[in-house]
Amino acid sequence: RCFVSDIEVFQVDSNSYQRRFMILLSDVLLICKKKTFQQKYELMNVLNVQTLEFRLAGKMSDMEQLSKMRSEINQKIENQKELERKQQDEDEEQMKIINDTKLVLKMDEKQKQLYLMNAIEGRFLFLLFTPTNTYLFDAMTSDARRRFITKLEGYVRKQVETNDKKVEG
């Protein structure tokens, strides 16, 4: 079993969102809830990766909401790419006029700013449909993911140990 990734989860349930946390190992997917006022995660569900066929089992309104959200995200990405294309064309024209190294540095800086401004670029969004719920996963900062992973691995170890004790007893 090896670590694949971890993602913050938003459980989509009849037009309301509940925050969930998730870790994806090579063979299982763990879904957790953070305990209020504590730095602890409560394991809500363990899903086997082999059985993750995407069954659309959410409410109709969820599906509509998710497809709207998906198209909004795609639209934003397209708009951003269009802006970047226009910007690049303008910058290329400027490059032809003034062939200067300073301008090259400015262009790099502009692209970096565009990347930082755009909330979608560099963000990974996944939709996961389970028989009972629909989940939206959003993975962003690697540091937060790393901290979350270490905590979760501890909880999983504890849960496995308690399950082993139950089997023995």
Q: How far is it, in rounded angstroms, from Cα 110 to Cα 91?
A: 10
More confident residue, 118 or 69: 69
DSSP H or E stretch at residue 64: helix 60-97
| DSSP at 35 | P
* CA of residue 47 relative to chain centroid, distance: 17
DSSP E strand boundaries for the chain: 3-13, 16-25, 28-34, 41-48, 124-129, 134-139
Backbone angles phi, psi at 52, to 5 degrees: -85, 55
More confident residue, 102 or 94: 94
The pLDDT mean for the chain works out to 62
Taking only the tens place, the pLDDT of each residue in 19-42 is 566 666 666 667 677 777 776 767
Q: How far is it, in rounded angstroms, from Cα 95 to Cα 18?
A: 49
Query: In percent, how much of the chain has pLDDT > 90?
Result: 1
pTM value is 0.26
What is the rounded average pLDDT of the residues 10-24? Answer: 54
167 confidence band (pLDDT: 50, 70, 90) = confident
Predicted pLDDT at 71: 73
> Of the candidates 12, 39, 7, which has an alpha carbon nearest to the alpha carbon of residue 22?
7
67 confidence band (pLDDT: 50, 70, 90) = low
Taking only the tens place, the pLDDT of each residue in 126-161 is 454 544 555 555 455 565 556 555 665 666 677 778
